[in-house]
Amino acid sequence: MRLHRFFVEEQLRNKTDISIFDDEVIHQWKDVFRLRAGDRLTLLDNTGFEYLAEVALLAKGKADLKIIDRSAVSHAPAKEIWLYAALIKKDNYEWILEKGTEVGVSHFVPVVSDRIEKKNINMERALKIVKEASEQSGRGTMPLVDEPASLEDAIESATVPLIAFHMSGEKFVAGFHNNKQQLGILIGPEGGWSDSELALFKEKNIPIYSLGGLVLRAETAAIVVPALLNL
C-alpha cells in the first residue's frame, strides 16, 4: 500500500525524530486520513529524499514522529523545464500549476502579456497547489513559483534557453531539444501572442513553434509541451 506523502519545512537529514505543530497538517492527518500512533507515512524535506516515518503521538496542536528510513526519490523530471505561461483566468492558471507540477515543470513564471486582463496571482494558494500536487505525484522536490513578470522582464531575466509557441511557428517536434537539459517554454494567452510580442521573440532570436493545426486552449498547450519534453 502506498503511504501518504507530506512535505515539511524542517530539514530531516540525520534526524531520528521530528515534531510538527502545524494545525492544518495535524487536522489533515488526524481527522481526514484518520492516522493514529503506529501508522506510517512518508515525509519530504524538498531535497530529493524521502523519509519513512512512524507516528508516535498525534494530538491537538502537536504530532511527534520517529524517522525510520531515508532514501532518494527515484522519480525525477527528465529535464529542468521553466514554464513561462501567460496569466489566464484564475481557475485555469491554477490548473496549469497543478498539472504542470504533475508532468515535471521545475519552475513557473506567470507572464503578464498584451492580451490578458489578470495581472497577479494568489501566491499563498499557488504554493499550496504545487505542494499538494508534488505530494500526490511522487516528486521529491517542489517546483518554484515566481511572482508575475512582464514578458520583457521574463525574457531578460531568463537563465535557460527559451522557445515560444504560436500558430504561425514551425511545427514542433520534441526531439529537437532532446540535447537540452534546461529549457524555458513561452505559452501565450487565449488568442495567442500579439504582433509586438512575436516581433520581440524574433528580435531576441527565440525560436517560435506550432503544435499543429488544431487550436489548443492556453492551459492545454501549457501542459502538452512539458509532458512531451519529459517523455
Range of the domain at 29: 5-72
Claim to verify: residue 126 and residue 183 sit in the same structural domain = yes
Claim to verify: residue 211 and residue 187 sit in the same structural domain = yes
Claim to verify: residue 92 and residue 48 sit in the same structural domain = no
Strands in 102-148 per DSSP E: 105-108, 111-112, 144-145
Determine contact, residues 223/103, Cβ cutoff 8 Å: yes
Dist CA 49 CA 104 (whole Å): 17
pLDDT tier for residue 214 given thresholds of 50, 70 and 90 = confident
Query: Which CATH number is 39's domain given?
Result: 2.40.240.20
Claim to verify: residue 34 and residue 99 sit in the same structural domain = no
pLDDT tens across 132-165, in order?
Answer: 999 999 999 999 999 999 999 999 999 999 999 9
Claim to verify: residue 57 and residue 126 sit in the same structural domain = no
Q: pTM above the 0.85 mark? A: yes
Domains: count for the chain:
2
pLDDT tens across 112-139, in order?
Answer: 999 887 789 999 999 999 999 999 999 9
pLDDT tens across 63-102, in order?
Answer: 999 999 999 998 788 899 999 999 998 889 999 999 999 9
Claim to verify: residue 142 and residue 35 sit in the same structural domain = no
Dist CA 170 CA 207 (whole Å): 9
Claim to verify: residue 85 and residue 19 sit in the same structural domain = no
pLDDT tens across 172-202, in order?
Answer: 987 777 777 999 999 999 889 999 999 999 9
Q: Which of 50, 72, 94 is the last residue of a domain?
A: 72
